[in-house]
Chain A
Amino acid sequence: MKGQTAFLEKEFLEIAKTYKIYVIPGLFLLIGLMSPILAKLAPDLVKSMAQGLTIQIPPPVAADAYLQLFKNLNQLGVLAVIFTSTGLVAEEKARGTAALMTVKPLTRTAFIVSKYVATAVLVLGSILLAYLASLYYTVILFREALFAASALALLLASAYYLLISAVTLLASTLCRSSAAAGGLAVGAFIVLSVLPSLHPWLARYTPGALVRYENALLASGANLAPTRAFADAVPALGITLALAGLMVALSVVVFRRQEL
């Protein structure tokens, strides 16, 4: 058991001592800070660009700040997580460090699980950072927090990120190179994003639906009924978390059968 925790410790140290500690939290902090500001400035920007035309734009509200935040998180943030995680297993296989570690009494299960736990902690911490930054600026700029709705939306986004991390882990385990793993993970991300538009059932229960539920939550926030909007999201939330667990388990199974 000691050996397995030593490897988890190594994963955390690796994040702390390499570029990842700057890139992911840094980017997420930037997203968190910029989203409310962009939401606040967007109408003025549009007006300044459309000189001579009269455009009626309703004044921005707190929900717009969060909509901007989650839109950025669900695109830019997800891609950043994918691209910084594709090497998780693939790179260790290509370099030969995976072989060097697993001929020792480090189980292959512990190897994969450590990678997932470290990535999940990094990613969840970063989203929380983005959210807190957004919350702060939203209160300053809009004098309104929409706390319940935005916090529940954060919960949904976190589950989505747990799945994205697990999908990237599986891609990295399946592929020999980080580039191939990146392609596979982005492909999976596109599929997840497109599925909800194919069928009403998919729009309710697949992980991609969480994005819609986040928007619904924020829209409901103004009407003070976020818990009802959240209840609608619970099945998709459960399915997303179950899928994330399945992806991690599959990664373990695949890795255990691989020749290193």
Chain B
Amino acid sequence: MPDAAIETQQLSKAFAGHMAVDGLSLCVPKGSVFGFLGPNGAGKTTTLRMLVGLARPTSGRATVLGQDILRPPADPRQSYLRRIGFLPDVPEFYSWMRAGEFLTLAGQIFGLSGRNLRLRVEEVLQLTGLAGVKTRIGGFSRGMKQRLGLAQALINKPELLFLDEPTSALDPMGRKETLEAIAALAGQTTIFFSTHILSDAERVCDTVAILNKGRLVTQQSIRSLRQSHASHWAYLEVEGGQDGRDFIAAIRSQPWVDRVEVYQQGWRVLPRDLATAQHQLPALLAAHNLALRRFELREPSLEDIFVELIHGKPSPQGVAEPDAAGRDANGRQEDGR
């Protein structure tokens, strides 16, 4: 792809005989907000560290903003490092400095000076909610350090932003603000964003890659991922609570039902064939003379898909065909779960 911000081919990293990243081939389109997902220890941080030049791949290759990461240009001023921003998972700073001082240093390293530098420092302080904070960084909370980490990553108006678990240390407010800041950057900046918090990825990412044990499980747009993996399901509650044994038995015997889970207040029905289920469920309810209190048709969350991909089926599809119609998606659902 010519318009890739990041492209890796068979990128691998071994540590003492164990493959932290194993043959990873990724393509991050320019302008995308790319979620890099995986459980803890999947190899997300190692991949990021290779892409920003902090760790050397054992094998494979990668280009970032068109530059081979293993062949830096002779003139360091041409390096892609000038055009990226990086927020490590646990950012640390010089504790004797204040936020503005650190950002000034970061800006100077990028060649900013004078009025431009002062304005940019003020701008990123505002953006990350650190304006007016006068304490030394040594007294910062983890959340404040995370914000300062984001601020320093933005100081050079990067074309490509690497964020390693930017929200995991934050309280709900800080998390919301950080996600909003990321969403605001979308469009101007390509964002490569690793996380194990799926709802965060769901909120801001357009494309995701899922990594498990160093290997790529899938890479596709959130939309096609939703359509190709994990099924829709219905949640229903009836008046009178749980006295619908006949009803459950009847549902379970239907060919379009995969399984039924019984909850405190109601049932979760996982259909094999969603369209039929949508027609037949109300009919069955009426036939058993049950009054409906709640009926919800739910799309699979990224969490459902994630669990399915990581723990469920052994060999998921690599890249799904885009734009398959949503209601056909459950056709893939297999028995034996």
**A259 and B54 contact, CB distance less than 8 A:** yes
**B109 and A96 contact, CB distance less than 8 A:** no
Question: What are 12 A-to-B residue pairs whose CB atoms are below 8 Å?
Answer: A2-B111, A6-B108, A10-B105, A96-B88, A99-B54, A100-B88, A103-B54, A103-B81, A103-B84, A105-B79, A105-B110, A259-B54
A6 to B156, CA, bound (A): 16
| A17-B96, A100-B152, A105-B77 given; A7·B109 CB < 8 A | yes
When the two chains form the complex, which single residue of A6, A18, A96, A259 contacts B105, counting CB atoms closer than 8 Å?
A: A6
**A3 and B54 contact, CB distance less than 8 A:** no
Which B residues have a C-beta under 8 Å from some C-beta of A?
A: 49, 52-56, 76-77, 79, 81-82, 84, 86, 88, 90-94, 96, 105-106, 108-111, 113, 152, 156
When the two chains form the complex, which single residue of B76, B93, B105, B156 contacts A7, counting CB atoms closer than 8 Å?
A: B105
A2 to B117, CA, bound (A): 13
A101 in the interface (beta carbon within 8 A):
yes
A63 to B258, CA, bound (A): 98
**B76 and A107 contact, CB distance less than 8 A:** yes
**B92 and A97 contact, CB distance less than 8 A:** yes
- Which residues from chain A contact B91 at a C-beta distance below 8 Å? 96, 100
**A104 and B54 contact, CB distance less than 8 A:** no
Q: How many A-B residue pairs have CB under 8 A?
A: 65
| A14-B96, A259-B56 given; A104·B90 CB < 8 A | no
Q: In this complex, what residue of B is CB-closest to A257?
A: B56
A7 to B104, CA, bound (A): 11
A227 in the interface (beta carbon within 8 A):
no
**B105 and A100 contact, CB distance less than 8 A:** no
A107 to B53, CA, bound (A): 12
Report B67 CB to chain A, min CB distance, Å: 13
Report B138 CB to chain A, min CB distance, Å: 11
- Which residues from chain B contact A100 at a C-beta distance below 8 Å? 86, 88, 91-93, 152
A14 to B136, CA, bound (A): 13
| A14-B96, A99-B54, A105-B77 given; A3·B88 CB < 8 A | no
A76 to B177, CA, bound (A): 53
A7 to B55, CA, bound (A): 22
- Which residues from chain A contact B92 at a C-beta distance below 8 Å? 95-97, 100
**A10 and B94 contact, CB distance less than 8 A:** yes
**B52 and A3 contact, CB distance less than 8 A:** no
Q: Which of A92-151 contact B (CB under 8 A)?
A: 95-97, 99-107
When the two chains form the complex, which single residue of B52, B56, B94, B109 contacts A6, counting CB atoms closer than 8 Å?
A: B109
A18 to B96, CA, bound (A): 7
**B54 and A102 contact, CB distance less than 8 A:** yes
A260 to B93, CA, bound (A): 15
The number of residues on chain A lying at the interface, defined by a beta carbon within 8 Å of a beta carbon of chain B, is 22
**B111 and A3 contact, CB distance less than 8 A:** yes
Report A92 CB to chain B, min CB distance, Å: 9
A259 to B57, CA, bound (A): 10
| A105-B82, A259-B56 given; A97·B109 CB < 8 A | no
- Which residues from chain B contact A101 at a C-beta distance below 8 Å? 109
Q: Which of A207-260 contact B (CB under 8 A)?
A: 259-260
Report B326 CB to chain A, min CB distance, Å: 41
Report B192 CB to chain A, min CB distance, Å: 13
**A104 and B81 contact, CB distance less than 8 A:** yes
Which A residues have a C-beta under 8 Å from some C-beta of B?
A: 2-3, 6-7, 10, 14, 17-18, 95-97, 99-107, 259-260
Report A248 CB to chain B, min CB distance, Å: 20
A27 to B79, CA, bound (A): 44
- Which residues from chain B contact A2 at a C-beta distance below 8 Å? 108, 111, 113
- Which residues from chain B contact A260 at a C-beta distance below 8 Å? 54-55
- Which residues from chain B contact A97 at a C-beta distance below 8 Å? 92-94
When the two chains form the complex, which single residue of B49, B96, B108 contacts A3, counting CB atoms closer than 8 Å?
A: B108
Q: In this complex, what residue of B is CB-closest to A95?
A: B92
- Which residues from chain A contact B94 at a C-beta distance below 8 Å? 10, 14, 97
Report B298 CB to chain A, min CB distance, Å: 41
**B52 and A103 contact, CB distance less than 8 A:** yes
- Which residues from chain A contact B109 at a C-beta distance below 8 Å? 3, 6-7, 101, 104-106
New A-B pairs, 15, CB < 8 Å, besides A7-B105, A100-B86 = A3-B111, A6-B108, A10-B94, A10-B105, A97-B93, A99-B49, A99-B54, A100-B93, A101-B109, A103-B53, A104-B109, A105-B79, A105-B111, A107-B76, A260-B54
A104 to B149, CA, bound (A): 13
A17 to B49, CA, bound (A): 31
A17 to B136, CA, bound (A): 12
A260 to B84, CA, bound (A): 18
- Which residues from chain A contact B84 at a C-beta distance below 8 Å? 103
A199 to B292, CA, bound (A): 99
Report B79 CB to chain A, min CB distance, Å: 6
Report A176 CB to chain B, min CB distance, Å: 15
A235 to B156, CA, bound (A): 49
**B90 and A96 contact, CB distance less than 8 A:** yes
Report B52 CB to chain A, min CB distance, Å: 5
Report B137 CB to chain A, min CB distance, Å: 10
Q: In this complex, what residue of A is CB-closest to B80?
A: A105
Q: In this complex, what residue of B is CB-closest to A97?
A: B92
Report B83 CB to chain A, min CB distance, Å: 10
- Which residues from chain B contact A102 at a C-beta distance below 8 Å? 53-54
Report B238 CB to chain A, min CB distance, Å: 55
Q: Top 7 A-B pairs ranked by shortest CB distance?
A: A6-B108, A3-B109, A259-B55, A95-B92, A96-B92, A104-B109, A17-B96
- Which residues from chain A contact B106 at a C-beta distance below 8 Å? 104
